[in-house]
A and B are shown apart, each in its own frame.
Chain A
Amino acid sequence: MEQALLQFSQFTGIFAFMNSPWGWPVVESLHFFGLSLLIGTVGVFDLRMLGFGAGISYQFLHQLVPIGVFGYALNVTTGTMFLSSAPDQYLYNPAFQTKIGFMLVAGANMMWFYVTTSSKVRDTKDFGMVSARAKAIAFVSLACWCGVIICGRLITYFRPPYHWCFWC
């Protein structure tokens, strides 16, 4: 897998760009920009479901979500650039594995929200409260994105021995 990722990175020119003097910090900046977009839109919507900012319509705030989706796409793109340029620094790093775990839970949680709860939430009146299930989904979402940020910081501070991984 490591070799395949490196080959992809070298073939697409990502490796050369990432190893240029400006490559890594520029992509890191874009990665944080995407994360901020996600927190500023999806995070705000989650906080609203938890009862913050009563009076703002759920339907209105839900219109911010496409910006969050754009932020997420930016994060996946830049994240792939990091991973493919230095796969050994990520694949065996428990902080990265936990980060991916949080992202998967956040994704499943979002799907659960759209399948079970979103239409009811959008129909809720401006000063109305959403169901306990919607609040639980919002809490899980916020917790996961905070977990993603914390693990993202941990990646650079936690360089494990290469043999360490959940599936080894």
Chain B
Amino acid sequence: MLHCGKYLEGGSDLHTLARLEETGLSIMLRESGLAFFSSLTLHSLAMAFVVGINLALAFSLLGVIPSLLHSRFRPFLSFHWWAVGLIFLSGVALLIAYPAKALTNPVFYLKFFALSVGLLITWRLQRSKGMKILESSAVGARPGNAKSIGAAMLLCWMTTIGAGRFLAYTHSVLLASRFF
């Protein structure tokens, strides 16, 4: 774990986070129960949908369920990208509310990394390797390296979920302003 000690030695990083915590927006997001709860709930709802669609795609690539790699599945993926936007917006709101809690915790960066790789795989699957190639194929077709892509997707999304949950238990700093 990246402890706050490293930040306290330098001081400036924690000062910056403390300044962010003292902005009106951060205080409002933290202290208005409705604003914080809405951000958290939207984040969970959108995350459940995005992870759900991606897990379904991963299982279809692994051969557990019929293949979803078909152009007709695209509307669901478009909807999925809107949900990704919602994840980003609600995530930024949560980050502004408690910047030090997330930014001083390496688990946050693990979540961000796994989420980014997972989304990159889906985007590449949708744009180049997956659906364009298989557009004329019958439902049930899969690309050659389907199983490795499916396994990578599964790993990314399980890591995203796990890191997201562990974030609440592993932070060493809740509010940077408490140190000044």
Contact = CB atoms under 8 A, between A and B. Distances in A.
Interface in A67-81: 67
Contacts of A43: 49, 52
Given A47-B79, A63-B65, A149-B41, 6 more contacts: A29-B164, A32-B165, A33-B161, A39-B48, A150-B45, A154-B37
Question: For the complex, would chain B's binding face be called helix, strand, loop or mixed by DSSP majority?
Answer: helix
A100 B135 CA distance: 42
A167 interface: no
A149 B52 contact: no
A40 B162 contact: no
B166 interface: yes
B31 to A, nearest CB: 14
Contacts of B162: 25-26, 29
A96 B161 CA distance: 22
Interface string B132-147: 0000000100000000
A153 B52 contact: no
A129 to B, nearest CB: 15
Interface of A: 24-26, 28-29, 32-33, 35-41, 43-44, 47, 52-57, 60, 63-64, 66-67, 146, 149-150, 152-154, 157
A153 B41 contact: yes
Contacts of B180: none
Contact of B55 (A29, A36, A53, A66): A36
Interface of B: 33, 37, 40-41, 44-45, 47-49, 51-56, 59, 64-66, 70, 72-73, 75-76, 79, 139, 157-158, 161-162, 164-166, 168-169
Contact of A40 (B52, B164, B166): B52
A44 B66 CA distance: 14
Contacts, number: 99
Nearest to A145: B48
Given A63-B65, A64-B65, A150-B41, A56 B161 contact: no
A56 B72 contact: yes
B76 A53 contact: yes
A33 B73 contact: no
A64 B53 CA distance: 11
B70 to A, nearest CB: 8
A40 B165 contact: no
Given A53-B73, A60-B66, A39 B165 contact: no
- Which residue, A33, A57, A66, has most C-beta atoms of chain B within 10 A? A33
Nearest to B55: A40
A54 B166 CA distance: 39
Q: Which of B47, B53, B59, B76 has the most chain A CB atoms inside 10 A of its CB? A: B76
Nearest to A151: B41
Given A25-B168, A40-B55, A67 B73 contact: no
27 contacts: A29-B158, A29-B162, A29-B164, A32-B47, A32-B51, A32-B164, A36-B51, A36-B55, A36-B157, A37-B52, A37-B56, A40-B52, A40-B55, A41-B52, A43-B52, A44-B52, A44-B53, A56-B72, A60-B66, A60-B139, A63-B65, A64-B66, A67-B59, A149-B45, A150-B45, A152-B44, A153-B40
Given A25-B166, A52-B75, A153-B37, A37 B55 contact: yes
